[in-house]
Amino acid sequence: MDRGKRRSFRMFAQAVKSAGLAAICLGTILSVAGCGAATLPSSKAHAYSAADIDARLVSAYNDFGFDLYRTTAAGQQAGKNAFMSPASVAIALSMTMNGAAGPTRDGMAQTLGLQGLTPDETNKAAHILQNVLRTADPSVQLSIANSIWARKELKFNPDFLATNKNYYGAVTESLDFAGSKAAATINKWVKKETKGRIDSIVDNKIDPQTIMFLLNAVYFKGDWTVPFEKSATRDRPFTLSNGTKASRSMMDRRGTFDYADMDGYAAVRLPYGNGNTGTIVLLPDEGMKLPALTDRLIGSEWLNLTGALQNRQGEVILPRFKLEYESILNEPLKALGMSAAFDRDKADFSGLLVPPPNAYIGEVKHKSFVQVDEKGTEAAAVTKVESKATSAPASSGFMMEMNRPFLFVIHERQTGTVLFIGSVYDPGL
């Protein structure tokens, strides 16, 4: 086939936002072989619980997320803050994988760690996981939304569209990509689903080779179960990755925390709402670089850490920070095993539409935003408050001061799902 007649399949991943945490993944999509409308779940809400979760999917998504984060961070500028929603990327790729066949699907399944699940098992597990996450804690906001935006002059596989609608709740709309309103329509959905924290994901002029956009949006807003008192916040020294010290606004709270002293690092969990959702902050020991700590979280280390957390008295000193991040994930995903999906000559998305044109992934883009303050992970104006230094905690307690680069992971405890991962090299940026 003439390469000029082929069409690209754009994938994007966008943003996580804490209290405004918003994540959007835009990607390719497809249909499930042998999965007709009769086997699809009802699009109506169903009361699932954590007991219905397929642990294989959660484990695969988490391992993929840490691996993707490690690979992406390794390719960026040293000492740069990073923030990502691996859950958002995983959901978008799961939808995309529905339209893949042969080596293309095999590579995507391997990258996501889903080789042991059939397409039907993957979709059902993702369907249940999203429903449970949305209702895990009524005292916080956690929404997950999916949408498909297709070039109107092309005919796509109806099973593919039905599968994504029923398993993922994807809103589907055909648009005139050559028209002036297409990008604005898509970006309006983005802004709505991220509560205004992300304005756009699609350029005003859509590439003429683009045939479809698939978006996944994750939005989270939560207040700390026990907030930090603003009167205890003051400027303290923070050691940057180059060894220099800078004055940064640091929050301070004493109390009871889930804490673990691990080999090479310490970790503390700060819960939101009723405690199901929380942030685990990981501080490497002096001399350990943050990338080395990130490398260790793949596999059993994350489970070992969450299992080692124990209730202890102590003091936590955490900087206020705001991160905005954007990354193209093509190369990290290729490195993890799904290069065929990006190859216009080798990609097989015959479950999406009957060629010609042939579909392939043009781009996976991820954008994120998070702001943390005394109230919680809430996108809001931050007020700096100076106060006297408190005395050190009693010798029986711990003291964990995030005064150098640290890692943080926002997760949901009932399902075990990692929602967001971030590295803070400088909270002042």
Give the tens place of pLDDT for each residue, 361-390.
888 878 788 888 888 753 221 111 111 122
Give the domain extent around 148. 7-223+323-370
From first to last of its 429 residues, the chain has per-residue pLDDT tens of 444 434 444 433 222 222 345 555 544 322 222 233 334 454 445 679 999 999 999 999 999 999 999 999 888 878 899 998 999 999 989 988 888 999 999 999 999 999 999 999 999 999 999 999 999 889 999 889 998 888 888 888 999 999 999 999 999 999 998 988 999 999 898 888 888 888 888 888 888 888 888 888 888 889 999 999 999 999 999 999 889 999 999 999 999 999 999 999 999 999 999 999 999 999 999 989 999 999 898 778 999 999 999 999 999 999 999 888 888 899 999 999 999 999 988 999 889 887 777 888 888 878 788 888 888 753 221 111 111 122 334 445 899 999 999 999 999 999 999 999 999 999 987
Q: Is 390 part of any domain? A: no
Same domain, 110 and 259: no
Distance CA 72, CA 24 (A): 17
**Residue 380 within any structural domain of the chain:** no
Confidence at residue 27, expressed as pLDDT on a 0 to 100 scale? 42
Q: Is the dihedral of CA 196, 364, 409, 387 positive or negative?
A: negative
Q: How many domains does the chain have?
A: 2
Check which CATH number belongs to the domain holding 130 and give it.
3.30.497.10
At residue 367, the pLDDT reads 78
Report the CATH number that the domain containing residue 252 is assigned in CATH.
2.30.39.10
Q: Is residue 2 part of a domain?
A: no
Burial degree of 101 (CB within 10 A; 0-12, 13-18, 19+) = middle
CA terminus-to-terminus distance, the chain: 49
Nearest partner of 401 among 390, 386, 387, judged by Cα: 390
State the pairing for strand pair 171-175/141-151: parallel
- Asked, for residue 32, whether it belongs to a domain, the answer is yes
Question: Do 34 and 119 sit in the same domain of this protein?
Answer: yes
* In a domain? residue 379: no
Query: CA-based angle 38:44:46, to the nearest 5?
Result: 100
327 and 271 together in one domain: no
Same domain (yes/no): 283, 348: no
200 with 279, same domain: the answer is no
Domain C-terminal end among 370, 387, 407: 370
Helix %, strand %, coil % of the chain (to 5): 30, 30, 40
383 located within any domain: no
In a domain, 275, yes or no: yes
Do 305 and 194 belong to one domain?
Answer: no
pLDDT of residue 185: 94
Q: Are residues 310 and 284 in the same domain?
A: yes
Whether residue 179 sits in one domain with residue 98: yes
User: Do you know the residue count of the chain?
Assistant: 429
Flag whether 381 is in a domain. no
CB 40 within 8 A of CB 168: no
Write out the two tokens for 221.
């807003």
Q: Do 262 and 211 share a domain, yes or no?
A: no
One domain for residues 121 and 245: no
Q: Are residues 298 and 344 in the same domain?
A: no
Do 29 and 73 lie in one domain? The reply is yes
